[in-house]
Amino acid sequence: MAETIQSTTNSKTSGAAGQAEGNFVARFFRATEIDTRMLGMIGALLIIWVGFHILTGGFFTDEGGLFLTPRNLWNLSVQTASVAVMATGMVLIIVTRNIDLSVGSVLGFTGMIMGVLQSRLLPELLGFDHPAIWIVALACGMLIGGLIGALHGVIIAFMGVPSFIVTLGGLLIWRGATWFVTSGQTVAPMDVNFRLMGGGTEGSIGATWSWVLGVIACLAIIAAIVNARHQRKRFHFPRRPVWAEYVLVALGCIVVLGAVYIANDYPWPEAIARRYAEANNIAWPEGGLFISQGIAIPVLMAIAVGIVMTFIATRLRFGRYVFAIGGNPEAAELAGIKTRWVTVKIFALMGMLCAIAAAISTARLNAATNAQGELDELYTIAAAVIGGTSLAGGMGSIAGAMLGALVMQSLQSGMVLLGIDSPFQRIVVGMVLVTAVWLDTVYRSRAK
Amino acid sequence: MTEQNTPLVEMKNISISFGGIHAVENASVDLFPGEVVALLGHNGAGKSTLIKVLSGAYKRDNGEIMINGETVDIRNPRDAKKYGIETIYQTLAVADNVDAAANLYLGRELQTKWGTLDDVAMEASTREVMGRLNPNFKRFKEPVKALSGGQRQSVAIARAILFDARILIMDEPTAALGPQETAQVGDLIKQLKREGIGIFLISHDIHDVFDLADRVFVMKNGKVVGHARTEDVTKDEVLGMIILGKVPPGATPGPGAMKVA
């Protein structure tokens, strides 16, 4: 009896303590205005990372884990880039209650076109290794991707065929068309400058420039927060407490500089470093030469795409229309928005992003193949949905989708490190997708 | 004011059909500046359809629309807005995932000189308009779906009057509102009327609109039964027009009037 009473009081006090702590946490999030949803995703990402690190022998054994190593994280960032680029466009498509199943095939097709251009057609016109080849190839790829997307958009918006069907057709058609470009032959190698978009030793910007970009990013974070505070002050909107602003600046800068540090901590492979040393008449030191990779160019491209797409989605009329159409298509139409043209533009934009993703993945493989981008449509959609884009329309964020892409890629790459068979990898990815959306549904119904 | 010669809006012999069903047949209505005209009828009588022809949501099959005596061509909502016709729909037609300012300026966003959205300017004028309309409205930063029915209604009305409407169409303006909010809308209608705006009120409930309206048009089965000045007829007589199509002596019969044997 006495014991029972004891235990009840115990649980009471611990419950009260938990509540006080919850209040502090709640207060912290309210003050910093950090989106708890986004935070949940970052938490999930950290759990995945730490989990894989432990499973591959990290923390508790002497060997050290394989996941949280500069090498793996650097590779992870490069592997994520292609799907992350497409996920930014998929957000806008899903926000307007559409879907695009053709992105993997469009990636394959534009990749093949760019491959043929740079390895067969352009060298004849401009000369081998001409510096303009990569940009001409990329521009043509984006143009063709944009036209394919616009065609999908016109059929969806003006001919009234559901986007699911149009892009399902596109999935088959463009995969087939990819084959016809070279009758199934793989095109390789890629142009020397084009290849930089795929990352790798040459496709990274090195330690110095990585630090420069990192510092610029930190200054941009500070400027953004100061500006936001200034704007709120001008219009007498409630402001965050000053300490919260400092916390946000500190968090942002730590993440940015930490990422730069990790990228710089991954050195060139020894063979390449040795060749470089020989070419530049540097004596080979005893412990080996440590040359930092720095941030990879495809990662920078993905970040740039993310910033541009966020700007389009939040600062331009077009983005406003996209969200209004997603929220209430009828109201948008009655408000005088040319909803059909907006739909066409969204799909054209998606096509162009597919071409950028194609450039990254063909450059990384140093070849354009028939199978390039297969299943990417599903990873892209999954990234957007895990990133908080609602299939009911009207809700979604670019940053969330890119984070979603990172979550998907982390799972994949972790399972590869563990040596899990690829059929089982798919099973896991599928289950994670369903679970993530279920959790999101629960969260949203609570939020209401 | 109804004695003026040129009506603000004149819709002549409008017909529109969907798949062989005549939703509106040979209907004519008119509206003068500073006048409130109620369009009454049962659900499915064709009143909303007729008015959607004016607001550009539907394209008429036949007939003519004249604004200030000039024939105009209204093909879509943008055309209608060009002639100063603003509509508040029964469904409110707001994008409820964005905030009040975004809804007020939807389709007509203010832009900075760099072509980006001028959110600050839009919010400032939203605050001004909403302050005039509904001084209690404070939730400018929240998506419209977080607002109450009355607040959403004021957002929809603010959107209509923000751009100097000359002709206002209100489809069941008080259907979603409580008694106090209904009274507010009534006051607002009187205020807009004093400013010389012509207002079409559409309702299936005569009690909502009879006291506000200067004239009533009654529709039944897609045809105009007749119209009358509210001072010349009683509510019961108008009810007779709505239910039976029976035109009282104080009203002018239309093509849909019951044929007296």
Give the model confidence (pLDDT) of B56-66 as tens digits: 888 888 899 99
Instruction: Examine the domain organization and report whether B14 and B73 are in the same domain.
Output: yes
pLDDT of residue B141: 80
Q: Residue A323: which of B57, B97, B123 has the nearest Cβ?
A: B97
| CA-based nearest residue to A355, from A18, A89, A64 | A89
DSSP of chain B, one letter per residue?
-TT-SS-SEEEEEEEEEETTEEEEEEEEEEE-TT-EEEEE--TTSSHHHHHHHHHTSS--SEEEEEETTEEE---SHHHHHHTTEEEE-TT----TTSBHHHHHTTTS--B-TTSSB-HHHHHHHHHHHHHHH-TT----SSBGGGS-HHHHHHHHHHHHHHT--SEEEEESTTTT--HHHHHHHHHHHHHHHHTT-EEEEEES-HHHHTTT-SEEEEEETTEEEEEEEGGGS-HHHHHHHHHH-PPPTTSEE-TTSPPP-
DSSP of A111-131, one letter per residue?
HHHHHHIIIIIHHHHH-TT-T
pTM, two decimals, is 0.85
Asked if the structure places residue B177 within a domain, the reply is no
Chain A nearest CA to B157, separation (Å): 13
Chain A partners within 8 Å of B115 (Cβ): 316
Interface of A with B (CB under 8 A): 231, 235, 237, 315-317, 320-321, 323-328, 330-337, 394-395
Asked if the structure places residue B189 within a domain, the reply is no
Q: Indicate yes or no: CB of A316 within 8 angstroms of CB of B87.
A: no
Mutate which of B117, B142, B162 to test chain A, going by most A C-beta atoms within 10 A?
B117
Contact A325, A342 (CB under 8 A): yes
Chain B partners within 8 Å of A335 (Cβ): 77, 93, 95, 106-108
Q: Residue A327: which of B95, B123, B141 has the nearest Cβ?
A: B95
Q: Indicate yes or no: CB of B77 within 8 angstroms of CB of A336.
A: yes
Distance CA A116, CA A357 (A): 17
Q: What are phi and psi of B255, to 5 degrees?
A: -65, -20
Per CATH, is A41-201+296-418 categorized as 3.90.320? no
Task: Report yes or no: B191 at the A interface, CB cutoff 8 Å.
Answer: no
- Helix pair angle (A376-386, A398-418), 10° resolution: 120
Task: Report yes or no: B121 at the A interface, CB cutoff 8 Å.
Answer: no
| CA-based nearest residue to A129, from A201, A78, A200, A196 | A196
Tell me the pLDDT of chain A (448 aa) as tens digits: 344 444 433 443 444 444 445 577 777 777 777 777 788 888 889 999 999 999 988 777 777 788 999 999 999 999 999 999 999 999 999 999 999 999 999 999 999 999 999 998 998 888 888 889 999 999 999 999 999 999 999 999 999 999 999 999 999 999 999 999 999 999 989 999 999 999 888 889 989 999 999 999 999 999 999 988 887 787 777 778 888 889 889 999 999 999 999 999 998 888 888 888 888 888 888 777 888 889 999 999 999 999 999 999 999 999 999 999 999 998 898 888 999 999 999 999 999 999 999 999 999 999 999 999 999 999 999 999 988 888 888 889 999 999 999 999 999 999 999 999 989 988 988 898 898 888 878 877 776 5
Beta bridge partners of B218: B40, B226
Asked if the structure places residue B127 within a domain, the reply is yes
Chain B partners within 8 Å of A323 (Cβ): 95, 97-98
- The domain in which residue B132 lies consists of 96-165
Report the CATH number that the domain containing residue B225 is assigned in CATH.
3.40.50.300
Instruction: Examine the domain organization and report whether B151 and B213 are in the same domain.
Output: no
Q: Indicate yes or no: CB of B106 within 8 angstroms of CB of A335.
A: yes
Distance CA A98, CA A393 (A): 8
Q: Indicate yes or no: CB of A328 within 8 angstroms of CB of B107.
A: no
Instruction: Examine the domain organization and report whether B150 and B124 are in the same domain.
Output: yes
Neighbours of A341 (CB within 10 A): 15
Give the model confidence (pLDDT) of B11-58 as tens digits: 999 999 888 888 898 889 999 998 999 999 888 888 888 988 998 888
Measuring CA to CA, how many Å separate B178 from each of B96, B145, B149, B184, B189? 20, 18, 9, 10, 16
Q: Indicate yes or no: CB of B117 within 8 angstroms of CB of A328.
A: no
Task: Report yes or no: B81 at the A interface, CB cutoff 8 Å.
Answer: yes
Q: Residue B81: which of A315, A331, A336 has the nearest Cβ?
A: A336
Neighbours of A65 (CB within 10 A): 20
* Segment holding A443, helix H or strand E: helix A422-447
Mutate which of B106, B112, B116, B162 to test chain A, going by most A C-beta atoms within 10 A?
B106
Q: Residue B107: which of A316, A337, A394 has the nearest Cβ?
A: A337
Classify each residue of B54-73 as buried b or exposed e, where b means 16 or more C-beta atoms within 10 Å of its C-beta.
bbbbbebeebebbbeeeeee
Instruction: Examine the domain organization and report whether B72 and B3 are in the same domain.
Output: yes
Instruction: Examine the domain organization and report whether B80 and B100 are in the same domain.
Output: no
Q: Indicate yes or no: CB of B108 within 8 angstroms of CB of A336.
A: yes
Give the model confidence (pLDDT) of A271-301 as tens digits: 888 888 888 888 888 777 888 889 999 999 9
Measuring CA to CA, how many Å separate B66 from each of B8, B16, B32, B54, B160? 8, 17, 12, 10, 21
Give the model confidence (pLDDT) of A302-347 as tens digits: 999 999 999 999 999 999 999 999 999 988 988 889 999 999 999 9
Q: Indicate yes or no: CB of A317 within 8 angstroms of CB of B76.
A: no
Give the domain ranges of chain A: 41-201+296-418, 205-294
Chain B nearest CA to A315, separation (Å): 5
> How many separate domains does chain B show?
2
Q: Indicate yes or no: CB of B106 within 8 angstroms of CB of A328.
A: no
Chain B nearest CA to A227, separation (Å): 13
Asked if the structure places residue B118 within a domain, the reply is yes
Mutate which of B74, B97, B152, B171 to test chain A, going by most A C-beta atoms within 10 A?
B97
Instruction: Examine the domain organization and report whether B120 and B62 are in the same domain.
Output: no
Chain A partners within 8 Å of B121 (Cβ): none
Cα A88–Cα A92–Cα A93 angle in degrees, nearest 5: 110
SS (H, E, C) B31-64: ECCCCEEEEECCCCCCHHHHHHHHHCCCCCCEEE
Task: Report the largest interatomic distance among the alpha carbons of chain A, rounded to a whole angstrom.
Answer: 93
Asked if the structure places residue B237 within a domain, the reply is no
